[in-house]
Amino acid sequence: MQKYSADNISDDNIINGKTLLIDKPLNWTSFDAVKYIRRSLTSKFKIKKIKVGHAGTLDPLASGLLIICIGKQTKKISEYQNLPKSYTGRFKLGESTPSYDRETEVNKSFSYSHINESDLHNLAKKFIGKKMQKPPVYSAIKKDGKRMYEYARKNIKIEIQERKIEIYEFEITNFSSPYVEFIIKCSKGTYIRSIANDFGQRLNSGSFLYELRRTGIGDFSILNALKIQ
């Protein structure tokens, strides 16, 4: 995988715009990646301002494909945001967290000795199709001008509305108890963390998202992405 460099951006790219495929590192926000690229370009071209934006947030605890648009290509951001997303990752059975991932500490533990690999495969099939999904309380969705995670961190309870999503593919690729490896392809706006939480509940246990990597956005692949670290 090649590494991103401002030296590979031309004057023509600044004038006419460019779309970059970036492999976002763990513990970076999507905006961290935007700032890094914007700073590199303003430094190289000695300009004060340039439009740089990303087409779809990826959580800090997730790595993988991020589409970043420069200049005139920022007009395509909404188009890219609507594309389906593909992920690989791992759930951890037997525990739950308030954020549905590793951002917060485990708050409940459950038995998972009754769960076998056949149960996992059968349940994954039931998730495929159009669904209503409730996003995590620890999310960047805005309500009354504030992000939901701001309320959650202050223990302020806010009702979250369900939203329509679609899961096109959901395959269990490995089970090494308590970890469940998966592949998911889904619509815009789908929270894999919520799938992890719901998956555990439907197994009469608990589950949270332990690891996540975005591998595709529409026809764009992580195999063609540039590293920035």
**Is 165 part of any domain?**
yes
What's this model's pTM, rounded to 2 decimal places? 0.93
Residues 116 and 173 in one domain: yes
| pLDDT given at position 152 | 63
Residues 68 and 103 in one domain: no
Is 219 marked active-site? no
| pLDDT given at position 138 | 72
Residues 67 and 99 in one domain: no
Residues 177 and 155 in one domain: yes
**Is 1 part of any domain?**
no
Handedness of CA 186, 187, 189, 195 (dihedral sign): negative
Q: Which of 59, 101, 119, 219 is catalytic?
A: 59
- Local mean pLDDT, 10-residue blocks, the chain (229 residues): 94 95 96 96 94 94 97 96 98 96 96 97 98 84 72 73 95 98 97 97 97 98 94
Round to whole Å and give the CA distance between 95 and 137: 17
CATH of the domain at 211: 3.30.2350.10
| pLDDT given at position 160 | 79
Round to whole Å and give the CA distance between 116 and 181: 14
Residues 67 and 123 in one domain: no
Q: Which domain holds residue 48?
A: 6-83+218-227
| pLDDT given at position 184 | 98
Round to whole Å and give the CA distance between 188 and 62: 16
Residues 34 and 97 in one domain: no
Total domain count for the chain? 2
Residues 108 and 187 in one domain: yes
